[in-house]
Every structure is written in C-alpha cells, then in structure tokens.
C-alpha cells in the first residue's frame, strides 16, 4: 500500500511539473511568399477543405484546441504538427524541388483515397474535418490537375525523384 501511495504521488508531481513546460506554438503572421497558391491554382472550394482538414498540421499556422493547454497533450499535438509540417507544408510548398512537389501531389491523392489523412485521432474531435466523398474527390481532382499542369510545364526528367 505504501509503495502504491508513493508511486501515485510521484506521478501526480510529475504531472504538475510538466504543466510548466510547453512546446512553442506553430503560429506565424509572416507573409507566405512560398505558398502553394502562389505557383498553382487553388480554387476556393479546395482552399476551404485544406483549411479545415489539413492546415493545422501542414502549414505554419495551427488553430489550437483548448486541451493544448494541458500537458502532455501539448507535446503529443506538437509532435503531429512538426511531423506533418516536415513532410508537407503548404505555406512552403514552392521551396521544394519540382520533383518533390510533383510527388507530394501523388502522396495527397494516395493519402486521401486511403482515408489516411486527416489523421484519425484528429477527426475524432474535429468532426468537420471528416471528408465527405465529394470533398475527397475535389481534393484528388485538384492534385491530379496540378500534376497534369506540372507535366505540361516542366521537362520530364525534372519530375523524376532524385536518388
Ligand atoms: C492532426 C495532424 C494532421 C492533419 C490534420 C493532416 N495531416 Fe497529413 N500528416 C500528418 C503527419 C503527422 C504526417 C506524417 C506521418 C504520417 O505519414 O502518418 C502526415 C503526412 C502526410 C502526407 C505524407 C507526406 C510525406 O512525408 O510523405 C501527406 C501527403 C499528407 N499528410 C496529406 C494530408 C492532407 C491532404 C490532409 C488533409 C486532408 C492532412 N494531411 C491532414 C498529420 C496531419
């Protein structure tokens, strides 16, 4: 019984102490000269979907829920944001080399088709980010159209992923 009490109190202390440590928030007011919309057509309906379902983890601005004030939840959310952003950041899209831009569009098609994005843990709470079949189709067709546009615009070897 005594050890149990000690363990419980230790956990409580740890839980209290970590409340004082928060990861930096992913929030920026800086202009976004490298945004995907600068180089490619981003229709209003696509922008709306990206905003509500993707940008919290794939842009320089996250809309934080209230529970981000609670640790260790904030670390967990920050991990998603950092990983998501690292793989695909719509605000930095034009800084990627052409072959990466081209392949990310295919990745979007695959992830959305498979229902792997947005993350399941995200749509539990963000119910408006659950994509309807119509919204999935809109995103997929958009990504496909950008790939066609790129194919027409750039030499074939620039679209090949470098080893
Ligand atoms: C809650 C955070 C979150 C949301 C919202 C989210 N993603 Fe992601 N995304 C991630 C994380 C984390 C990864 C990297 C790990 C993985 O692949 O599971 C990722 C990876 C990806 C990748 C692969 C990038 C690579 O590195 O290969 C694509 C493409 C992608 N997401 C597209 C989307 C699209 C499109 C949406 C919206 C429909 C979306 N994501 C919504 C967190 C998120």
Ligand 1 center to 116 CA (angstroms) = 8
Contacts of 104 (CB under 8 A, 6+ apart): 88, 93, 96
Convert the pLDDT of each residue in 1-40 to its tens digit: 789 999 999 999 999 999 999 999 999 989 999 999 999 9
Percent of the chain with pLDDT over 90: 96
pLDDT in tens, 67-90: 999 999 999 999 999 999 999 999
Q: What is the pLDDT of residue 1?
A: 77
Q: Which atom of ligand 1 is nearest to the CA of 88?
A: 24
Measured from the CB, is residue 149 less than 6 Å from ligand 1? no
Q: Could you give the CA distance from residue 25 to residue 27 in angstroms, rounded to a whole number? A: 6
Asked whether the predicted pLDDT for residue 97 surpasses 70, the reply is: yes
* Closest approach atom of ligand 1 to CA 110: 29
Ligand 1 nearest atom to the CA of residue 83, by list position: 12
Contact 41, 143 (CB under 8 A): no
The 10s digit of each residue's pLDDT in 32-56 is 999 999 999 999 999 999 999 999 9
Q: Which atom of ligand 1 is nearest to the CA of 104?
A: 29
Q: Check pocket membership of 117 for ligand 1, CB cut-off 6 A.
A: yes
pLDDT at 95 over 80: yes
56, 63 contact by CB (below 8 A): yes
Handedness of CA 52, 53, 54, 60 (dihedral sign): positive
Structure tokens at 102: 């081209």
Indicate whether 118 pLDDT > 80. yes
Nearest residue to 140 via CA among 103, 112, 104, 98: 112
By residue count, the chain amounts to: 163
Residue 59 — very low, low, confident or very high, per pLDDT cuts 50/70/90? Answer: very high
- Kindly report the average pLDDT of the chain as a whole number: 96
Which among 57, 37, 53 is positioned nearest to 127, based on CA atoms? 53
Residue located nearest, by CA, to atom 10 of ligand 1: 84
Q: Whose CA is nearest to atom 35 of ligand 1?
A: 108
Q: Decide: 56 in ligand 1 pocket, CB within 6 A.
A: yes
**pLDDT > 70? residue 163:** no
């Amino acid at each position: 019984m005594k050890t149990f009490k000690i363990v419980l109190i230790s956990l409580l202390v740890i839980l209290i102490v970590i409340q004082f440590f928060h990861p930096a928030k992913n929030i920026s007011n800086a202009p976004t000269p490298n945004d995907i919309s600068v180089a490619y057509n981003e229709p209003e309906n696509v922008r709306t979907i990206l905003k509500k379902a993707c940008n919290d983890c794939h842009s320089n601005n996250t809309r934080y829920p209230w529970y981000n004030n609670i640790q260790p939840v904030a670390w967990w959310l920050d991990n998603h944001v950092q990983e998501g952003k690292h793989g695909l950041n719509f605000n930095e899209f034009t800084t990627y080399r052409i072959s990466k831009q081209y392949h990310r569009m295919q990745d979007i098609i695959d992830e959305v088709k498979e229902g792997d994005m947005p993350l399941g843990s995200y749509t539990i709470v963000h119910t408006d980010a659950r994509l309807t079949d119509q919204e999935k189709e809109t995103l997929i067709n958009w990504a496909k159209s950008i790939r066609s546009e790129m194919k027409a615009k750039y030499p074939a070897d620039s679209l090949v992923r470098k080893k």
